[in-house]
Structure 1
Amino acid sequence: MLNTLPQPDVDIARFVRVTQAEDGMIDIFIADNYREDFKVQHFVSRVQKAFPGRTRWASLSLDEIDNVALPQSGDAPAHSVNQQRVLSYFRKAIALSASDVHFT
């Protein structure tokens, strides 16, 4: 088993999952609607070149992609960029003793 699996860039991470099966193969799961995306194809080709003969891929719906386990890492952010932005708005509102927050 590999210590670290190649992971997709942040901009395609929602559409691509990488796992390692018990047989040692690297499974790449790609959302149906993003199979033809250049960044997705580039990532898959990089992984296939790095691990020749040890990769396989499958196309899944976005709902199924969400059910594929994300790799756990200690340095992974707990929130997405958008979630962090919204949380920062609420922190600022608390600091300013605001009674409500309006998004426009």
Structure 2
Amino acid sequence: MLSCDRGRLSRVGGLVAIPDGPIRLRLDVDGDRLGFAFGSAAEGPLTAWSSFLDAGILSDDHAAEERDGVPQLWGFTGAFLGLWAQDLTEGRAFVDVDSATYRER
């Protein structure tokens, strides 16, 4: 998992083995903590990622920067929930999303 904070990219946790074939992903938002889990598409328990991410960086207060009272970075328009994938192998791999569900707890 990768995280980007003010343009600085960092790896979060270690590498994990993703099962072959269709998978399920889950994002849990608990206050300022983001937790992730994954597993095979078949029903069953999901494996939690080893690390949590700080949701506090998803705000204008964190993203905006000033130097001597002059804005350097304006931040952004807010946090959005969405699906995104990137092929870091340059092998032109793709993601085919069958469905997405949002549930408030």
TM over 0.5: same fold? no
Q: Tell me which protein shows more strand as a share of its residues.
A: 2
Give the TM-score normalised by the residue count of structure 1.
0.28
Give the TM-score normalised by the residue count of structure 2.
0.28
Using CA pairs below 8 Å that are at least 6 residues apart, which structure has the higher relative contact order?
1
Larger Rg: 1
